[in-house]
Copies of this chain bind each other. A is one copy, B any other.
Amino acid sequence: MKIGVYQFYPEWGQKEQNLLKIREAIYFHKNVDLWVLPELCTTGYQFTSKAELTALAEEFPDGETAHEIMQMTADLQNALIIGVAEKAGSDVFNSAAVFEKGNFLGTYRKIHLFYKEKNYFTPGEEIPRVFDIMGARVGVMICFDWIFPETARTLALQGAELLAHSANLVLPYCQQAMITRSIENRCFTVTANRIGSEERDGEKLVFTGMSQATDYTGVRLAQLKEDEEKVLIADMDLALANNKNITTMNHLFEDRRINLYK
């Protein structure tokens, strides 16, 4: 299975322009089966009011962004996971929307909000989900979810073969930690991060790029640079992730001592 990441510099508030860039990238690499795109990569990341965020947010699958992606994935017969601002009633969620071959499969609503996201987004209230995508089991997580080992574990215990991690990382530790996530869960991982910076209300955030893919044993398959706008493609035999035997006598999940954990 060919997993693609498009690491790019989303222009704040320019949804049409950002979607056009995404369209160009994915039509240029038609052999990719599943795309993973950064967090909030159509709207931009930083908001200064709930009204501003709400104006850019959309319903899924009823909004224009969803319709465009359904058309793209129908046309290319592939799948795509994209970070979006999801409007639902008066709430806006920091979500990853999942599409496959013209169909909307659902969203994962980020459960661990980072810093000022708490001012404007509503936290998700559902257990992180594993989606059946292109014949594979794909667990979806967003950015700050990485620091809580429970997130990746929750997805792996539901059978995730791949952890698809949509991100706007500003801290420098995550890319290395995702290697640990792959080792401790024996899952493939892909982190799609953005590049560039945003300055809003006097607060400047610099995003760290370095999007990467790892195999299920913690080997880094590919990594982009911190400032390049580029596609990463990794070929993964995801079924390998179902082998949880670290040694002939150690099964990663059966060896857990769940009665002895806090």
Contact = CB atoms under 8 A, between A and B. Distances in A.
Interface of A: 111-112, 114-116, 118, 123-128, 144, 147-151, 153-154, 157-158, 173, 176-177, 179-180, 183-184, 218, 246-250, 252, 255-258, 260-262
A177 B173 contact: no
Contact of A115 (B118, B247, B260): B247
B114 A247 contact: yes
7 contacts: A111-B260, A128-B260, A148-B255, A150-B256, A150-B261, A153-B261, A176-B179
A256 B218 contact: no
A79 to B, nearest CB: 24
A139 B180 CA distance: 20
Contact of A177 (B147, B148, B180, B262): B180
A176 to B, nearest CB: 7
Given A157-B262, A260-B125, A250 B180 contact: no
A258 B262 CA distance: 11
B158 A252 contact: no
Contacts of A247: 114-115
A127 B260 contact: yes
B177 A126 contact: no
B250 A114 contact: yes
A11 to B, nearest CB: 26
B112 A249 contact: no
A195 to B, nearest CB: 21
Contacts of A148: 184, 255-257
B184 A262 contact: no
